[in-house]
């Protein structure tokens, strides 16, 4: 059997991405736009993106930061339980989804939802359902850290049952339970990250603490990783790639009170190609990283083909520009695939 030495990915999409703002945006934005056709951008800035004006302004800043590339940022709003139908009707053509955060559950989520009571959420969710606006959810409770996603499963089921016409995306799923839930409700979909396909909690804290692998939701057990990987390798039709790449400056990762987030943007396509190749699933990679998202969100991305070559790539120890810096996953390590420039 001849060895594969090149591989092409068409219209890659990252359906869960943090670009931050200001100088950090200028640093990390091009590290996505250079290799992706589009990305779904998280709204948890400070203050969060809750108005049409703030959203359109943020989109312009992203486009300016990524102006050298053919790239479409898909914008979201930060969920509020008092959005009016008229407001949502006005913004629906400018956004791809609305993102719900339980209050205080992750970075910059202090203004999130304080109660997951269905009746509290109903006005906004009914409007979204009627207008065809998808709901993205960071699905964790405030319980014991390893059980937070599992404890959120009944909430997903309740929302899915009460709003059957509402398209719901379980963001960055990390558990076997979440994978199994995908097939129980027609309106449930999910994203999964690169790092949750590769690591468990043991990789984060089983030996010396690895702060650049610390994220929320936290990496789980081996059986969870295997369930996620199996679904991704098969390109489960309701599962999309979403990196949750979350940049923090080095000094906020390598410190007491380490910030949560794994920065993967510069290595995503190289590592995914290697992962799918070694598992004999390269034929499914385009579906996982593009076609599923196009179908679920009904989007036609900018045409872009990324060619990967079997050539060693040494991951930079740090990315620095505009007075900011960020350390990537696998910093200083050698990858088997490179992106052809």
Q: Compute CA distances 43 → 17, 108, 143, 220, 281, whole Å.
A: 10, 9, 24, 26, 33
Phi then psi for 281, rounded to 5 degrees?
-125, 25
Q: Which residues, 6+ apart, have CB-to-CB distance to 107 below 8 Å?
A: 18, 44, 216, 246, 259, 260, 261
- The mean pLDDT of 61-78, rounded to a whole number, is 98
90-106 pLDDT tens trace: 999 999 999 999 998 88
Q: Is residue 75 part of a domain?
A: yes
Provide DSSP, 202-227: HHHHSSS--GGG--SSPP--HHHHHH
The reply to whether 99 falls in a domain is: yes
Question: Is 66 inside a domain boundary?
Answer: yes
Q: List, for residues 222-241, the tens digit of each pLDDT value.
A: 999 999 999 999 999 999 99
Q: What percent of the chain has pLDDT over 90?
A: 95
Q: Give the domain CATH number at 305.
A: 3.20.20.140
Sign of CA dihedral 324, 328, 334, 335: negative
Q: 115 pLDDT band (50/70/90 cuts)?
A: confident
Does residue 1 belong to any structural domain of this protein? no
Which range of residues forms the domain containing residue 144? 6-339
The verdict on residue 78 lying in a domain is yes
Mean pLDDT of the chain: 97
Catalytic one among 202, 244, 283, 312?
244
Q: In this predicted structure, what is the pLDDT of residue 2? A: 53
Using one digit for the tens of pLDDT, what is the confidence trace for 251-305? 999 999 999 999 999 999 999 999 999 999 999 999 999 999 999 999 999 999 9
Is 165 catalytic? The answer is no
Mean pLDDT of 110-122: 91
Residue 159 lies in a domain: yes
- Is position 318 within any domain? yes
310-313 LR contacts (CB < 8 Å, sep 24+): 310/3, 310/4, 310/5, 310/6, 310/336, 310/337, 311/337, 311/338, 312/336, 312/338, 313/267, 313/270, 313/337, 313/338, 313/339
Distance CA 149, CA 141 (A): 7
The full DSSP string for 91-125 is HTTT-SEEEE-BTTSSTT-TTSBS---HHHHHHHH
In a domain, 40, yes or no: yes
Q: Which helix (H) or strand (E) holds 313?
A: strand 313-314
Q: How far is CA 284 from CA 12, 237, 290, in A?
A: 13, 11, 10
How many folded domains does the chain comprise? 1
**Can you give the pLDDT at residue 1?**
42
Q: Which residues, including other chains, have CB under 8 Å from residue 278's CB and lie 6 or more apart? A: none
> Read out DSSP for 135-180?
EEE----SS-TTTHHHHHHHHHHHHHHH-TTS-EEETT--SHHHHH
């Amino acid at each position: 059997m001849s060895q594969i030495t090149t591989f092409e990915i068409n219209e890659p999409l990252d359906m869960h991405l943090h670009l931050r703002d200001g100088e950090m945006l200028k640093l990390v934005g091009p590290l996505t736009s250079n290799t992706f056709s589009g990305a779904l951008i998280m709204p948890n800035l400070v203050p969060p993106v809750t108005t049409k004006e703030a959203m359109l302004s943020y989109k312009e800043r992203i486009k300016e930061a990524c102006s050298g590339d053919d790239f479409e940022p898909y914008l979201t709003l930060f969920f509020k339980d008092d959005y009016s139908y008229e407001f949502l009707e006005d913004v629906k053509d400018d956004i791809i989804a609305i993102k719900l955060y339980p209050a205080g559950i992750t970075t910059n989520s202090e203004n999130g939802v304080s109660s997951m009571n269905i009746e509290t959420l109903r006005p906004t969710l009914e409007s979204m359902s009627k207008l065809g606006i998808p709901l993205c959810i960071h699905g964790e409770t405030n319980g014991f850290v390893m059980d937070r996603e599992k404890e959120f499963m009944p909430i997903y089921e309740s929302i899915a049952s009460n709003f059957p016409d509402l398209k719901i995306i379980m963001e960055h799923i990390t558990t076997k339970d979440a994978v199994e839930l995908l097939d129980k409700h027609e309106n449930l979909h999910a994203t999964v990250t690169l790092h949750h396909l590769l690591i468990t909690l043991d990789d984060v804290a089983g030996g010396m603490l690895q702060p650049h692998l610390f994220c929320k939701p936290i990496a789980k057990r081996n059986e969870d990783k295997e369930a996620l990987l199996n679904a991704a390798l098969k390109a489960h039709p309701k599962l999309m790639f979403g990196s949750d790449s979350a940049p923090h400056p080095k000094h906020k990762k390598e410190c007491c009170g380490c910030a949560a987030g794994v920065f993967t943007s510069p290595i995503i396509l190289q590592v995914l190609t290697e992962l799918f190749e070694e598992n004999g699933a390269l034929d499914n990679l385009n579906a996982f990283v593009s076609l599923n998202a196009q179908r679920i969100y009904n989007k036609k991305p900018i045409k872009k083909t990324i060619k990967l070559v079997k050539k060693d790539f040494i991951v930079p120890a740090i990315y620095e520009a505009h007075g900011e810096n960020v350390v990537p996953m696998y910093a200083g390590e050698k990858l088997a695939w490179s992106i052809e420039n």
